[in-house]
Structure 1
Amino acid sequence: MSVSALREKVRFISGGAECVAWHYPGTNQACVIMAAGGAVTKEPGTDPFARRFHEAGFSVLAFDYRHLGESGGHPRQVVPIGEQLDDWQAAIAHAATLPEVDPAGLAIWGFSLSGGHVFPVAARNPHLAAAIAQTPLADGPTATRAAARHQKPLAALRMTGRALLDAVGQLMGLRPLLVPLAGEPGTVALLTTPDSIDGDRALNPDNAYPEWQQTVAARTALSLTFYRPGRHASRIACPLLVLVCDQDQSALPEPAADVAGRAPHGELVRMPGGHYEPFLDGYERAVDAELAFLYRHLPTGHAG
């Protein structure tokens, strides 16, 4: 059966704008709410894992943040962290209204930047049954310093200048200055870490998602530099699975592992590879670990 036959498009409102999501109706009354990494749309960023969760009986609600993909909101290709956290709240509220879903069986899943968002969202929603953070950005300042070692000085200055110009342009109501999500060292891109350039191969094999615009507002670099979602670890009441890759040079494994250690019900899974390994050769290992976690902690358990 094709993926399109398994899911339907739904919409909900966040901050006065429309968010668009894929709803996969499940059979076991539990629901996994999903969002992709920074400026990654719902299809390349969630399809492989959403399909497997759905095959296991879970409902899935996989959404685009405002300003990205099929969701509304202007300007486009911006990643305002506060708004994205609000979009999570709207998505959780919408998932609880789905006809086949028991509101006591809601879980959240995110990777990369959205994996970092999982921490404050879980802390804010103690009623959640479970949360999964896959290769999450847990500490922006630490990740930014580490990533700078993989960029050439002149390109770093050009990127900083573009980010500052974009931030000033935002105040003046100008269109965002866009940069690629990833690039080789010496290019102006959000990330130039060695594993960042695996993103297209991992998420968009054979150009399966040609509509995914792999750019983002340059100002994003400034907001990520100060974002420390891991500080919410001690307030996460639900079971939390943190999956890290030991050679992750984009989000870094140790700050995320520290969150798992400090969360009251944290669990840590480590695997070899870089930032996108769970979408590459490590996919089966990652999805198996996440399904086992969902089976253990969602109140409806294994449907099969």
Structure 2
Amino acid sequence: MNKKLNHLAQPTDVQFYSAGMRCSAYLYRPDHQAPSPIIIMAHGLGGTRKMRLTAFAERFTAEGYACLVFDYRHFGGSEGQPRQLLDIERQLEDWKAAINYARSLPNIDHSKIILWGTSFSGGHVLSTAAQDSGIRAVISQCPFTDGLASSLAMNPVTSANLTALAVRDRIGAAFGNAPIMVPLSAAPGETALMNAVDVVSGLSEITKNDPDYKNYVAARFALDIIRYYPGRQTTKIKAPVLFCVCETDTVAPAKMTLRHAKRTPHKEIKLYSYGHFEIYVGDAFEHVVKDQIDFLKRTVAV
């Protein structure tokens, strides 16, 4: 595997448009001339492509898969004002735009489009695949599947504080005011979208390669998360889906994820003892990416 990685070409910086705004992405191509399958990838809650997604893409490319790793509008290298606006519908539009762009690329097998999502985007890929019968396979890693389950996992006081900030932000937006920001991560007891015991240390590990990472988003998002249930779309997905589920997940509760996963027509479920943030690095990463490559080789061969 190391020999393969040593000979990888560097990714190309590319752009595509979503609702008239430019989304920035890395395009990885394998070292062969035949049309290749392509894996489309994006990060979770407030994340960017630099936060360890490149490590997964390098491993997939070494096995012969092209990878398109993009930033959502309002985040990272992509356009969009105001910055740090986390809008579910816009992110789903970005996934559709990324798929359309991938289908326009030369030397890509357009019948072999694969979606890869993690955490919040692990839910987005389920929703997107349910609406696009042309998707060949899906990898959904520690996925957000149920807004109510994730909200109930939060301390009631934190939830109340977030709701108050979100209402103020939504009202302010109607009058053209600048967004009220809320932290993405904080220590237990502090107000943030994620404040479980492993959040701060886990995020610090995966944001090392993104010096521009911003630990906040517009607070209005807190009003939308409880109404988002991508797991309910799993019965409509025609493609095989690999669910990588962390049994001790503090952000996306495993119990509800497994309930939705088991309703998927063509699924494989892998359970891990790792936490929500552990699977991006070290031995946990090696374990998970090996399982994902095995799934890819069996379902969408190069």
TM-score scaled by length of structure 1: 0.92
2:122 to 99, 111, 115: 115
For 2:230 and 2:218, locate their aligned partners in 1 and report how far apart those are by CA, in whole Å: 21
- Report if the CA contact (8 A) 2:129-2:237 is conserved: yes
Partner of 1:208: 209
Once the two structures are overlaid, the 10-residue window that deviates more, 140-149 or 59-68, is: 140-149
Partner of 1:180: 183
Report how many aligned residue pairs link the two structures: 294
Residue type matched to 1:52 in 2?
Answer: R
Residue type matched to 1:12 in 2?
Answer: F
- Report if the CA contact (8 A) 1:33-1:62 is conserved: yes
**1:142-182 CA distances to partner (integer Å, 9 max, x unpaired)?**
11101226xxx3x5433322121111112222221112211
1:73 paired to 2:80? yes
Once the two structures are overlaid, the 10-residue window that deviates more, 13-22 or 163-172, is: 163-172
1:101 paired to 2:108? yes
Partner of 2:284: 282
1:58 paired to 2:61? no
1:167 paired to 2:174? no
**Identity, % of aligned positions:** 36
Structure-2 change in CA distance of 1:173 and 1:242 (3 Å): same
Once the two structures are overlaid, the 10-residue window that deviates more, 195-204 or 243-252, is: 195-204
Residue type matched to 1:290 in 2?
Answer: Q
Partner of 1:238: 239
- Report if the CA contact (8 A) 1:247-1:272 is conserved: yes
**1:36-64 CA distances to partner (integer Å, 9 max, x unpaired)?**
01110111151111111111111000001
1:7 paired to 2:11? yes
Structure-2 change in CA distance of 1:4 and 1:36 (3 Å): farther
Determine helix, strand or coil for the equivalent of 2:153.
helix
For 2:59 and 2:148, locate their aligned partners in 1 and report how far apart those are by CA, in whole Å: 34
For 2:250 and 2:81, locate their aligned partners in 1 and report how far apart those are by CA, in whole Å: 31
For 1:148 and 1:116, locate their aligned partners in 2 and report how far apart those are by CA, in whole Å: 22
Shift of 1:211: 1.0
- Report if the CA contact (8 A) 2:9-2:29 is conserved: no
- Report if the CA contact (8 A) 1:140-1:228 is conserved: yes
Once the two structures are overlaid, the 10-residue window that deviates more, 52-61 or 19-28, is: 19-28
Residue type matched to 2:205 in 1?
Answer: A
TM-score scaled by length of structure 2: 0.92
- Report if the CA contact (8 A) 1:67-1:78 is conserved: yes
- Report if the CA contact (8 A) 2:8-2:62 is conserved: no
- RMSD over aligned Cα atoms: 1.8
Determine helix, strand or coil for the equivalent of 2:262.
helix
- Report if the CA contact (8 A) 1:20-1:63 is conserved: yes
Determine helix, strand or coil for the equivalent of 1:292.
helix
Once the two structures are overlaid, the 10-residue window that deviates more, 20-29 or 286-295, is: 20-29
Determine helix, strand or coil for the equivalent of 1:225.
helix
Residue type matched to 2:296 in 1?
Answer: L
For 1:127 and 1:106, locate their aligned partners in 2 and report how far apart those are by CA, in whole Å: 7
For 2:251 and 2:201, locate their aligned partners in 1 and report how far apart those are by CA, in whole Å: 11
Structure 2 residues not aligned, in runs of 5+ = none
Determine helix, strand or coil for the equivalent of 1:42.
coil
2:297 to 289, 295, 301: 295
For 1:59 and 1:199, locate their aligned partners in 2 and report how far apart those are by CA, in whole Å: 28
Residue type matched to 2:169 in 1?
Answer: D
Shift of 1:223: 1.0
- Report if the CA contact (8 A) 1:40-1:214 is conserved: no
For 1:179 and 1:2, locate their aligned partners in 2 and report how far apart those are by CA, in whole Å: 41
Determine helix, strand or coil for the equivalent of 1:108.
strand
